[in-house]
Every structure is written in structure tokens, then in C-alpha cells.
Homo-oligomer: A and B are copies of this chain.
Amino acid sequence: MDPDQRVETLSEAECRRLLGTVPLGRVVYTEHALPAVLPVAFRVAPDGRLVLALRSDSTTARALDGTVAAFQADLLDPEHRAGWSVLVHGRTELVRDRAELAELLRDGPRPWVGGQTPVYAVLTPELIGGRRLDAAPAGVGPEPS
């Protein structure tokens, strides 16, 4: 391991906590037999599901209705080479329940690309993993010679 860096595998609980600290992630799904990656606004629901805000006319919304997708979020500081990245896999469905939809339209995340009334997909996490990279605190590295 690099003496100036520390890589930490994150617990599922820590992954879930970190996901709640950022407004955007990237959903990965299959489109025309190729992986598509799209930034989306999201929120972690109290029950742990991820609520993704999508444009109603987007192909993404259709692609995420009843499939298995991946979702990635990170917060990275290239200058200091510190940060974290979390990856989630799970089943996604569009939200159709009227009460849930009404509540999301009132208080839910807004799609990253605005415009029409949004639609929402929920991803139920089945696998969650992540890692954190910390630059060593100043003074911990080798002494200058």
C-alpha cells in the first residue's frame, strides 16, 4: 500500500450513510445491448431504497421499469486523491402507487434535467459495496530527508 494513502473497504451501513450525503449518482443500465450510464438526482428513502428522479419522457425511465440496474455515487477530490465510491445493485421499478407518487411529486428529488413532471424509479439494494481512500494526515508520511 502506498504509505501516503489508505484504502478502506466500507461496511454496508457506511455505504448507506454516504449515499445519503450526495444529491446525485449514476444509474447504469442496458440500452441497445450496451451499458448506459446516466447522472440522476436521487434520495435514500427511510426504508433504504433509492428513489431516482427521472424525466417522464426519458428512455431511462422505460429502461428502469422492472430490471436489475447498478447505481454508483462518489465524492472524489482529485487534488488530494481522497474520497469514496459506493456501488449498489438491485431491482428497479417505476413508482406507480398513487399515494407514494403524490408524496414524491410534493417532496421528492427533482430530476437533474428539469422540465416535465418527473417520474420516479425505486431501486431496492441487494448488493452494496464501497471503499474510501484517505490521504494520510499531514506529518504521517515519511520525514523529508
Q: Is the CB of A114 within 8 A of B81?
A: yes
**Total chain A interface residues with beta-carbon distance under 8 A:** 34
Q: Is the CB of A1 within 8 A of B72?
A: no
Q: Is the CB of A74 within 8 A of B1?
A: no
Contacts known (A113-B7, A113-B133); A85 close to B39, Cβ less than 8 A: yes
Partner-contacting stretch, out of A12-20, A29-37, A43-51, A96-104: A29-37
Is A124 part of the contact surface with B, judged by Cβ < 8 Å? no
Closest to A71 in B: B37
Interface residues of chain A: helix, strand, loop or mixed (majority): strand
Chain A 90-124 against B: per-residue CB contact (8 Å), 1 yes, 0 no?
00000000000000000000001111000000000
Give every chain B residue within 8 A of A143 (Cβ-Cβ): none
Q: Is the CB of A115 within 8 A of B37?
A: no
Q: Is the CB of A74 within 8 A of B35?
A: no
Q: Is the CB of A37 within 8 A of B72?
A: yes
Contacts known (A34-B127, A127-B34); A112 close to B81, Cβ less than 8 A: yes
A-B contact pairs, 13 of them (CB 8 A): A4-B114, A7-B113, A24-B76, A28-B28, A28-B37, A34-B70, A34-B89, A34-B127, A35-B70, A36-B70, A37-B87, A39-B76, A112-B133
